Amino acid sequence: MDGMESLKPLPAPFKVFEDREALFYRGAVSLLAGGPGSMKTISMMNFVRKIKVPTLYISNDSTAYTIITRAYAMLTQQDMRIAKGQIERDPGAAARVLGRWGNVRFDFNSKPSIEDIAMSGEAFRTVYGEYPWLTVVDVLMNVDHEGVAEQNYWRLMPELKAIAADWNTAMVGIHHTTESVKGEPCQPMSAILGKANQLPELIITTHQGHYAVVKNRNGKSDVSGKTTFKLEAFPSQSRMEDAAQQEPQIQKVNLFEDEVKTDE
């Protein structure tokens, strides 16, 4: 009786994600995970740029200056060094460019608790009359919660799931992977730090513009991370775009192999 509109997935960030059925659903938790330098944050900012829905972005790992510079470079398609100079010389003009992201609100609390995240959502609703359709927590490691010292993300996931359901928001956590598990180039689901794999509906591992859907309750997935696709990356501009006419890169997988081999 309520209709299906709010139950549909958010728009695909890029066509290749739509083709692979790798979509963010409201009311659900998803993960984008990778090692250091894998361009997790740049990827997520480009997803936000393309999805274009009311968004709350909890940035506890990057400073406001870093996010502003990246967003400005991405929106103007300019080199980061040029973007920094323009922002510093003419902040008014930079503000007008960044005004294109009027649908996004950032929270730069470096160690937010679940209560802090909840309050940010309530503030968002007070200002805009609704909860964000997309909520990003970048990164999960810096959320202050019970079990954080032991990297026990099992305790964090139900809290994020409850918020996602209450707000009917697509909750996306940016997460780390263990460096001991090799990626080719994307890591398998077993590399997710803290093995926080049970509750998320969608888990994507990434490495510098390459992506692997390792868990997907609403489409195809490959836990090995060896079925990959890519976006065309412009790192100096913090920008990504669909790559033209690509086929999925599939490597042979031993379906009877129970464990992932790692380098000594």
Is there a domain that residue 219 lies in? Answer: yes
What range defines the domain where residue 75 resides? Answer: 5-250
Question: Residue 38's domain is classified under what CATH number?
Answer: 3.40.50.300
**Helix (H), strand (E), coil (C) string for the chain:** CCCCHHHCECCCCCHHHHHCCCCCECCCEEEEEECCCCCHHHHHHHHHHHHCCCEEEEECCCCHHHHHHHHHHHHHCCCHHHHHHHHHHCHHHHHHHHHHHCCEEEECCCCCEHHHHHHHHHHHHHHHCCCCCEEEEECHHHCECCCHHHCCCCCHHHHHHHHHHHHCCEEEEEEEECCCCCCCCCCCHHHEHHHCCCCCCEEEEEECCEEEEEEECCCCCCCCCCEEEEEEEEHHHCEEEECCCCCCEECCCCCCCCCCCCCC
**pTM of the predicted protein model:** 0.89
- pLDDT by residue (tens digit) across 20-44? 999 999 999 999 999 999 999 999 9
How, if at all, do strands 29-34 and 202-207 pair? parallel
Asked, for residue 258, whether it belongs to a domain, the answer is: no
Structural domain includes residue 68: yes
Asked if residue 263 is part of any domain, the answer here is no
**What pLDDT is attached to residue 261?**
40
Is the pLDDT assigned to residue 132 strictly greater than 50?
yes
Is there a domain that residue 262 lies in? Answer: no
Residue 78 pLDDT class (50, 70, 90 cuts): very high
**Does some domain include residue 228?**
yes
Overall average pLDDT of the 123-148 stretch: 93
Per the domain annotation, does 259 fall within a domain?
A: no
pLDDT in tens, 179-217: 999 999 999 999 999 877 989 999 999 999 999 999 999
Count of the separate structural domains present in the chain? 1
Mean pLDDT of 218-245: 93
pLDDT confidence tier of residue 150, bands split at 50, 70 and 90: low
